[in-house]
Structure 1
Amino acid sequence: MNHFELFGLAEAYSIDLAELQQRYRKLQQALHPDRFANASERDKLLAVQRTSQLNDAYQTLRNPLTRAEYILSLRGVDMQHEQKTLQDPEFLMAQMEWRERLETLAGDDFAAMDAAYKELDEQTQALQQALESDLQAGADEPAADTVRKLKFMQKLRRELEEIEDNAL
């Protein structure tokens, strides 16, 4: 049973996170190992395994990036072992520009930090929209490239947050 089936959801990039959380809590209550305290050792072990699978499925589906990777894996695209790098010269240039920008950014320059966050959020949102379109259209390779781009954007966000934290 795949993660979407476990929660009774359609396989889609765009899901209702509140509904996912509600279904997770309901399943968590039903499968919790404490409910099997008086059961056989085998049943206790199965309960622990099911709870672990449930938690893994929930963590995967609640994050848009891991959800997209999971959808691609269901379609036979293995993102974990893929050594392919992006061949998009425009995006590679944007990466270099972001790197230079982060190197010169001071965490106490709040206007520059806010502008960087805003631009990063706008670019990330545009990539997420492109990813959703690609996944809906079954364009798995472009979707995989967009996931790679989003991973870079996610890393940039963490670095930007680190710069801000170090200034405080």
Structure 2
Amino acid sequence: MATLNDSHFDLFDLPPTYAIDSTKLDEAYRTVQAQVHPDRFAAAGDAQKRVAMQWATRANEAYQTLRDPLKRATYMLSLRGVHADAENNTAMEPAFLMQQMEWRENIEDAAAAKNVAALEALLGELRDQERMRFEKLAALIDSHADQAASEAVRQLMFIERVASEIGNQIEKLD
């Protein structure tokens, strides 16, 4: 079995690539969980229970990270020493910054007009941008273009945040 310090990919015996076979990930997760589930150690001593809990927690965190494309990309970059977290690194290309401002203005206008159809159209546009950027991100990560991948991650974080805000606006208006 892997150690607690091994990568998420090592834990599940998967190749460290961005494209991931979700079926294999699910199967590997279930296998690891079956081996380390705390219920299996109910009669064990406190130390064994604690280790089982650490492993179960580790498996859950690894699974949640690898199954989410954005978290997986951020994790892979961190393994390479590149930290893409948006709070610490907000540098983005000017064209994307202009696009952000345009989206924000359109959201404000549509929300002020209580125009659900316009908000839904914006959400569709964001989802299209998200799909396109995820495809680009996969190529960037697999080709080790880490700085460009880091910027793509930050852009995707922004898009996800704005899409969530639009969803909340739509819920309020429905």
Q: Does 1:166 align with 2:166?
A: no
1:19 Cα deviation from its structure 2 partner: 2.2
Matched, 1:29 2:34: yes
Q: Which residue of 1 aligns with 2:69?
A: 64
2:3 paired residue number: none
Q: Matches of 1:76 and 1:86 in 2, distance apart? A: 18
- Counterpart of 1:86 in structure 2 is 91
Tell whether 2:13 aligns with 1:8. yes
Mapped contact 2:42–2:49 kept (Cα < 8 A): yes
- State the identity as a percent: 41
1:26 deviation in Å?
2.1
Who is 1:129 aligned against?
Answer: 135
Aligned to 1:153: 159
How far apart, CA to CA, are the structure 1 residues paired with 2:69 and 2:55?
Answer: 23
In the aligned structure 2, how far is the partner of 1:81 from the partner of 1:105? Answer: 27
Aligned residues: 168
Deviation of 1:115 (Å) = 1.6
* 2:53 maps to which of 48, 55, 58: 48
Secondary structure, aligned partner of 1:105: helix
Q: Residue 108 of structure 1: CA displacement? A: 5.5
Write out per-residue CA displacement over residues 96-147 of structure 1, whole angstroms, 9 at most, x where no aligned residue: 0010011011496343233212211111111111111111111000000000
User: Residues 110 and 116 of structure 2 are in contact (CA less than 8 Å); yes or no, is this contact kept in structure 1?
Assistant: no
Match of 2:115 in 1: 109
Tell me whether 1:141 sits opposite 2:155 in the alignment.
no
Q: What is the rounded CA distance, in whole Å, between the counterparts of 2:151 and 2:46 in structure 1?
A: 45
CA contact (8 A) 2:86 2:157 kept: no
Partner Cα distance (2:110, 2:86) in 1: 34
TM-score normalised per structure 1: 0.93
Separation in structure 2 between the aligned mates of residue 102 and residue 110 of structure 1, nearest angstrom: 10
TM-score normalised by L of structure 2: 0.90
Measure how far apart 1:25 and its partner are. 1.7
Worse-superposed segment, 35-44 or 108-117: 108-117
Distance 2:110 2:22 in 1: 34
> How many angstroms does 1:31 deviate by?
0.8
The alignment partner of 1:91 has SS state of helix
Determine the C-alpha separation between the residues in 1 that align with 2:134 and 2:46: 45
